[in-house]
Amino acid sequence: MNFFAQSAWVNGQWSRDVRLTAGKNGLWTAIAANQTCQPGDTRVGVVLPGLTNAHSHAFQRAMAGLSEQGSQAGDNFWRWRQAMYQVALNISPAQLETVATWLYAELLSQGYTHLCEFHYIHCDPKGNPYADGAEMSWALVRAAQQVGIGLTLLPTLYQHRGFDRQGLQADQRRFAGTHESILAIRDQIQHFAAQEKRPHLLHAGVAIHSLRAVAQAELEALVEASGQHPIHIHVSEQQKEVEDCVAHTGLRPIEWLCEHIGLDHRWNLVHATHTISTELEQAAQAQAAVVICPITEANLGDGIFDLITAIDTKLHCSIGTDSHTNRDWSAELRSLEYSLRLTQQVRNVASREATGYRPTGQALFEMALRGSSSAAGLPLGGIKVGERADFFELDPQANPLAGLTEESFIDALVFSTPSNKPKSVYVAGEIKTTDMPRVTALAVKTMHGLWQGT
């Protein structure tokens, strides 16, 4: 498939009259600027590479906007978690598939072309294993296939309620697993992807819910058997989590991982909100990456990620929408930058020496793009030969972009709101469309039934 783009974001800058060739494997095979359109080329306008949503809990889309009431006792992450457990306890495979299809269609329509699903609901509502241990995982795979978005499934190991608190509490019973059961799900997904000849669209790694939720021996066994697949873990999201880790181990979470497990390019540290600079330096030196979820971290009152140290140490970072109170990548990047402007009381925080003082929106977009491959375990690094042929087409006449030159388009998408949706989205060289009214109607019906059940 050949495309002819008026302009395309290639190697971190705009190029004009770009001829793009996608092979049968869905990867870019040739890219050349200053070309002429050839017969048979598909004409597109101004295009950006698709982004990876590096952290998703699809079932939490069903509670977006429904946990915003405080109480006399106050509200925090741990109280929100109890409400989240009620959804997790009740959602069926069919309901999960419907909600995930809706969510994935929303994400695709915004320019996310791949996502990493951090998935820990494995058992039935009574806490018993399904006949097929991957029952809930298949619901997510089917949702991604229906929409046409790429998926890295991360079956998640979750065993304990906390440090020195063995076993799961009653409302966590659906999360139970062992390193063997997690690896079995991963292997099933990988086998299916190979059989269906979809390895460029469907991939699987593993995840560890958190240090507090997994025994060291099980964590070590899972990591040892992970091969070159991506490994994700929630880490340092809350102050209490860090305090408990120090009390139990004598080390902060990332310090403990570096000393006892060893980080490398497979590791993606989700949140890393409450870190000290030396921890991020250690992660960067190990070629590990961080997944930042700015709007969820704001919504849950987690805190603000140390982006300045991350940029200056050249730490790979990606973004995720996590609990899905937001599904727009531009809002995530804007929230990340604005939170730092408020705390630092300066402007254009991400436009630093380490980013070549490039415009802030471009610096943030490139950061998220650069971390995509680390998070997904697939070649998703942009419009480059050998990367997956994902891109979305902008509408230069839309209000945020009208009257601007291309050089300002990414900054306007991030900082001039409301951002406009792409005119078209392509995954692995194929245009993707969704019947959103039908998908939304099914999801609404499912949500009504789900909330009646809770």
Element (H, E) at 5: strand 2-10
Q: Specify the long-range contacts of residues 381-386, CB closer than 8 Å, at least 24 apart.
A: 382/9, 382/10, 382/11, 382/49, 383/8, 383/9, 383/10, 383/11, 383/18, 383/20, 383/28, 383/31, 383/47, 383/49, 384/10, 384/11, 384/28, 384/31, 385/28, 385/29, 385/30, 385/31, 386/27, 386/28
Query: Considering the domain boundaries, does residue 37 fall inside one?
Result: yes
All residue ranges of the chain with pLDDT < 70 are 67-68, 72, 74-76, 78, 453-454
Residues 431 and 314 in one domain: no
The one-letter amino acid at 415:
F
CA distance 382 to 401: 22
- Chain segment 209-254, per-residue pLDDT in tens: 999 999 999 999 999 999 999 999 999 999 999 999 999 999 999 9
pLDDT of residue 140: 98
pLDDT of residue 84: 87
| Residue 290 falls inside a structural domain | yes
- Is 448 within the bounds of a domain? no
Instruction: Kindly state whether residues 74 and 167 are assigned to the same domain.
Output: yes
pLDDT of 454: 59
Residues 40, 144 within the same domain: no
272 and 250 co-located in one domain: yes
Q: Are 424 and 328 within one domain? A: no
CATH number of the domain enclosing 14 = 2.30.40.10
Point out the residues that are catalytic.
271, 322
What CATH number does residue 252 fall under?
Answer: 3.20.20.140
CA dist., res. 57 & res. 55, Å (int): 7
393 and 341 share one domain: no
Same domain membership, residue 270 and residue 141: yes
Say if residue 39 is preceded by a cis peptide, omega within 30 of 0.
no
CA distances from 237 to 265, 290, 302 (A): 21, 12, 6
Distance of CA 310 to the CA centre of its chain: 18
pLDDT of residue 380: 97
Answer positive or negative: Cα dihedral of 247, 250, 252, 253: negative
Comparing CA positions, the residue from 357, 369, 387, 380 lying closest to residue 329 is 369
Contact 323, 337 (CB under 8 A): no
Question: CA–CA separation, 451 vs 454, rounded Å?
Answer: 5
What does DSSP assign to residue 113? E
For residue range 330-350, what is the model confidence (pLDDT) as tens digits?
Answer: 999 999 999 999 999 999 999
Query: What per-residue confidence (pLDDT) applies to 65?
Result: 79
CB atoms within 10 A of CB 175: 20
Residue 154 lies in a domain: yes
| Residue in the structure block whose two tokens are 């709101």 | 417
Residue 443: inside a domain: no
- Structural domain boundaries enclosing 429: 2-48+388-437
Q: For the chain, give the number of residues.
A: 454
Number of domains in the chain: 2
Of 319, 314, 317, 320, nearest in space to 352 by CA: 314
Strand order in the sheet with 430-431: 28-32, 13-22, 2-10, 42-49, 391-394, 424-427, 430-431
pLDDT number for residue 418? 82
Same structural domain, 309 and 392: no
Structure tokens at 45: 């306008």
322 and 427: one domain?
no
- What is the chain's percent helix, strand, coil content, to nearest 5? 40, 20, 35
Q: For residues 268 and 291, is the Cβ–Cβ distance under 8 A?
A: yes
Structure tokens at 89: 């306890």
Q: For residues 38 and 65, state if they share a domain.
A: no
Q: What is the pTM of this model?
A: 0.96
User: Which contacts qualify for 436-441: CB closer than 8 Å, 24 or more apart?
Assistant: 436/105, 436/109, 439/101, 439/102, 439/105, 440/102
Quick one: pLDDT at residue 143? 98
Q: For residue 383, is it within any domain?
A: no
Q: Do both 16 and 154 map to the same domain?
A: no
Q: How far apart are CA 19 and CA 34, in angstroms?
A: 8
DSSP-assigned states of every residue in 347-358? S-TT--GGGTT-
